[in-house]
Structure 1
């Protein structure tokens, strides 16, 4: 049966991405589905209402019109102002990052919405295909942003990433060698910085060592090595991921006074709680703060600063799953194991184990929760 799909405009601070491109919409309307696009939803990514209209969408003036759908596709989690739009017969497909947001968990549960999180959709080989594109963007941006805030005019140490002949380059410590860390390392090494990447996975460290052949150092991530790397760093990039769960603190409050004055922390993991104890979510409007002389950049939606790149990169990966949810409804979760991992809540039940564990809530297996729905 045809599905009514909503594409609302994002409301998070400076969130300029949009959940679907006109190309995605055209693919859905050709399959007989109806897509409601809130007017201006794509403007931040330079996608006009006319482009969506030509793709077969119906342009609606208000957010509530787009939310009054069976399937709502977004980029970021609902903000408190949007909680009232959630309802029992809705499927919500977006980034959620629930491990650090109990009020949102409670809103999803009380509304009964079926919430499928991009970041926990997981394939049989353990990959996170919908987290990967934004991790690539955020990782590359982290080094770029760090280089900016190392400037004295931005509160930093006044260190140039690549140095100049006769003067040392910046020292960059990257905590985590996953997609974010690997992309951050790529840009930092390309800038000529002295780069150290820390991780607990020998395979990931070996991969980076083989690829870069001496252009960066790899170290096992333990307390001693973390402290040594962080204390020597001009820039620390937090790139740790616990799929669906809260990130552990690798840099504690009592470590900050021992760090270089004017050094910079970019905590990409902040949307999962952060891997720096002193991290707290910031916005593009007010991106940084200073503690013990260390500049903290903790914007929870970093890729929205490059929305056109990010929107297209994300929508390429989400398209196949949106089609499955539109064609099959919640039955797509039964048929596709990747979407089963992605389902975080359904009709008042927590269906992702890390979320239940974080908030001491009862976990219900996704297929059990679906029952005969």
Structure 2
């Protein structure tokens, strides 16, 4: 199979779809790999690394798309890439269709085969291709939230860990999944007081078992959310319904109950966000303020740490890329139920129902 990797062109997105090591494995399996020149530089991988691994370097993205049977990306295609995608071409990437009707319609019209990283699902319900980026984003949520609590950036002026004689900051985390647990781990490590809410008692019991005593677990209800937002400094939204829009757990009217300078980080922004006031931002312009509450809603948070993120992502995507390349997408999906769940749009037809929710 002919596999293509183009340079990501979303704002400040420096990750790349394949590492040189991934290229080497594909070449070893008798496939051809086309890499757009400089595609890996943002992640610390250079053209010479790809050439050494056996890739063919191509100048323009349009040429890579034209030559390739399968495109391996990181982020969803954006408008200028839509015309390059053709009928029957496999596009393997994060899509997050539920948050973009425009993207959904464009991929339907392209009649391509869209396999979404975020809906590939193991038998136990875990999302193996989303997990590493959720780990990165969960940890970054605290890193970024701590920064934006600083007064010069309109935050409350609070040091999350506190100092002797001064109490630590308070972090409220919505969701005890991968994002929530990683965020709790980072916040607890800084010494913050952490409250984590979830509707799944099994998850809360797990968190209670593995986290230190200053991480408190509670059932997620509207009452509890409204109670806690009044005295927490940093709020992290990490809820996920695979493939579907995230529920709006914090509504516009709740902002008035927060202290001025409270920071909200919405890690669920790719799926529409779990705050009613969420709108996607970029690393170039990451925050906005509504009712004196700082919102950080960057849609590709892991793109800020591309070396770490690219390695973490390709660790889990490469085995699936090899399956598709070796068997073709239909046979690979027939043999692997987890990969089959990644099928979102196939030749003009939506095959993943939650896209429309």
Question: TM-score w.r.t. structure 2 length?
Answer: 0.99
Q: Secondary structure at the match of 1:231?
A: coil
1:248 is aligned to 247
2:141 is aligned to 142
The 5 A counterparts of 1:319-338 are 319-330=318-329, 331-338=331-338
Partner Cα separation in structure 1 for residue 202 and residue 124 of structure 2: 16
Measured after TM superposition, the shift of residue 312 of structure 1 is 0.2
Partner Cα separation in structure 2 for residue 165 and residue 93 of structure 1: 50
User: Runs of at least 4 residues of structure 1 off by over 3 A?
Assistant: none
Measured after TM superposition, the shift of residue 165 of structure 1 is 1.3
The equivalent position to 1:24 in structure 2, one of 15, 22, 25, is 22
Partner Cα separation in structure 1 for residue 300 and residue 113 of structure 2: 23
Partner Cα separation in structure 2 for residue 26 and residue 35 of structure 1: 9
Measured after TM superposition, the shift of residue 231 of structure 1 is 1.7
> Which string of whole-angstrom CA distances, capped at 9 and with x for unpartnered residues, describes residues 114-153 of structure 1?
0000000011111100000000000000000000000001
1:173 is aligned to 172
Q: How many residues align?
A: 355
The 5 A counterparts of 1:1-373 are 3-68=1-66, 69-330=68-329, 331-355=331-355, 357-358=356-357
Partner Cα separation in structure 2 for residue 66 and residue 174 of structure 1: 42
Measured after TM superposition, the shift of residue 166 of structure 1 is 1.4
Partner Cα separation in structure 1 for residue 285 and residue 211 of structure 2: 35
Measured after TM superposition, the shift of residue 213 of structure 1 is 4.3
> Which string of whole-angstrom CA distances, capped at 9 and with x for unpartnered residues, describes residues 47-72 of structure 1?
00000000000000000111121000
Given that 2:6 and 2:35 are in contact with CA atoms closer than 8 Å, whether structure 1 keeps it comes out as yes
> Which string of whole-angstrom CA distances, capped at 9 and with x for unpartnered residues, describes residues 78-101 of structure 1?
011100011112000000001010
Q: Secondary structure at the match of 2:341?
A: helix
Given that 1:139 and 1:180 are in contact with CA atoms closer than 8 Å, whether structure 2 keeps it comes out as yes
Q: Secondary structure at the match of 1:177?
A: coil
Q: Secondary structure at the match of 2:9?
A: coil
1:365 is aligned to none
Measured after TM superposition, the shift of residue 353 of structure 1 is 1.3
1:371 is aligned to none
Given that 1:36 and 1:60 are in contact with CA atoms closer than 8 Å, whether structure 2 keeps it comes out as yes
Given that 2:188 and 2:212 are in contact with CA atoms closer than 8 Å, whether structure 1 keeps it comes out as no
Measured after TM superposition, the shift of residue 315 of structure 1 is 0.1
Q: Gaps (5+ residues) in structure 2?
A: none
Partner Cα separation in structure 1 for residue 334 and residue 206 of structure 2: 36
Given that 1:36 and 1:65 are in contact with CA atoms closer than 8 Å, whether structure 2 keeps it comes out as no
Given that 1:157 and 1:263 are in contact with CA atoms closer than 8 Å, whether structure 2 keeps it comes out as yes
Partner Cα separation in structure 1 for residue 6 and residue 101 of structure 2: 23
